[in-house]
Chains A and B, each alone.
Chain A
């Protein structure tokens, strides 16, 4: 126990030092700096970012989108050039606070919670949330029909909050805009609720999908700036006001087919009022209110890790037997498998399993895809550990077994493998610990496990620090007993045999 406390104290110390040193924020006078440097950097996420900002399908090295046009107009008014800074949407605001770019403009909804952290310009777009379902769906006609249904949305969006507030909705949170509509058309979920521009670009063109119900949750997109950049905000507000008055903004939206009656509000409501209200203040909620959610995420992490480790352990055994003791063809298949899975990123393997296989008519549920993906990947590593174990068993053991009249198969099972596994066990336990942490990768296939729960909660509450500490401790609390066990096992095995 003393050792545990010492490690915990060290961990805390390191975290505090990092937190403290990171607090010396960016310096003042961004507007002057922008003008001097000749360009303004704007943070946004171009990954699956249409129609906001995304790579031109005809020339993928070029970014297009209505926000690209808007950024260009703003920069022109400032007399500078616009440069996009790529950043994951979930973490745009922390990155802005860190000083990674001058402004963040990427469909950021004005919410009271965000307003506490950053300055918002006057709005540049009035968005609504649009519900999309499959063509044949008849039971869902509005958000109130969503109770008990599986509904996809993006992490950290207002749509997610709306769904959370309805209560009883099985919310599936994605980090990209393509995937929810993809899963909807495959029948993995029942509906998708997202901002109208997203629905217009990704949902409407899909022949299997349709809009349903009236738009809900009207609100405003605005440009985010650091609290210290009051002068920049003033300038940007002036520019936006000018773009509205001259009609340039309208023509941008018309070009992108985003103009609608709601946009009239832009001219009426120039003050940055809180666009979307009625969400409880989870910002100030005590930390323990997040615990049930985090614990549920931890439970899913344990479930996925354990299931995939069991698969990896047994599949790895099959692989090593194929590799070492089978006909050349079978052996080659095993070697190819092992090399392929060790030589390609787990992330790609997960994408292929989850989003690629449906093209061939195989639709896996997120849990199955997650366990299969992790398990099949780790099986390759376990197979190599077993192989090292087997080659550490002296040749005389097999010969002694054979000379007693055992078949090769029996000798393997009773004599060779028990000794080989003892050698492999420490490595296998280490892999289990690594798998625990790698399990966070499955969040890309819509599994909400611990890391994903964290990034969702943190993105909505902006409490990256406290929640991060809790999550780190949850992971540590799961993996540390494992490594203790591994060490004890290793000692016992060493004592048991020469």
Chain B
């Protein structure tokens, strides 16, 4: 359902992606691992148009993104980016909840204002989502009154409220205290079990091993290796993958 072809990305002089290809099937769970600064976040951000790229093509369902003029994007370009964003939800490392809105307002904002959903119906749906993540009691709270784990669960619910066909998670547990990591991973696991197409950048190797259909290893802007978790974790083909895995697994 997601195809990336010949993706080139520059940050000024820095040529980060030098022609990346990747295909993700419907219902597939792909986990991105690799050292910090290797390009995992940038890759996910390119897929839903938060980062412009200079060359290549990204297709989600039938909607294609090309390299576009970043200063003066055309109306059609902006429209296709928006169409992709409506199909693909994103969850950020920093949660990015809207601090001036309550939990319930955070969740119904986009369904009501973007999809034109009826306010009452939206609240009903949001309540159901909150129940699912065990936060039905916090619906009137402001984000500042929630723990990090609770905030991240609300952020996931907010993205799900738009009924996306795929979800992007950019290090969803990296800014959480260790005791809260579990509750967030549990919610993601629930999604995966329902068959959601899921792309996750993470440093949680056990979780990656458990949920991934496929692991993609980034290094310095290149995909150096991809394969099923069993293969990557027990017998990586690349020396750099081995070095990286040794380093993170020892830390745990």
Contact = CB atoms under 8 A, between A and B. Distances in A.
A306 interface: no
Contact of B98 (A397, A399, A496): A397
A497 B109 CA distance: 18
A404 B157 CA distance: 12
Interface in B153-176: 155, 158-159, 162
Interface residues of B, number: 28
B100 A403 contact: no
Nearest to B110: A404
A288 interface: no
A199 B48 CA distance: 76
Nearest to B98: A415
B36 interface: no
Contacts of A396: 92, 94, 96
Interface string A363-406: 00000000000000000000000000000001011011111111
Contact of A404 (B99, B100, B143, B158): B158
Contacts of A400: 90, 92, 96-98, 155
Nearest to B155: A400
Contact of A498 (B86, B92, B99, B162): B99
B233 interface: no
Contacts of B159: 403-404
Q: Interface residues of A: mostly helix, strand, loop or mixed?
A: helix
Interface string A393-424: 01011011111111100100011001100100
A404 B162 CA distance: 7
A419 B48 CA distance: 25
Chain A interface size, as a band, is 20 to 34
A399 B92 contact: yes
B85 interface: yes
A403 to B, nearest CB: 4
A410 B96 contact: no
B114 A406 contact: yes
Interface string B82-112: 1001100110101011111000000001100
Interface of A: 394, 396-397, 399-407, 410, 414-415, 418-419, 422, 496-498
A-B pairs, 5 with minimum CB distance: A400-B96, A404-B110, A396-B96, A403-B90, A498-B144
Interface of B: 48-50, 78, 82, 85-86, 89-90, 92, 94, 96-100, 109-110, 113-115, 142-144, 155, 158-159, 162
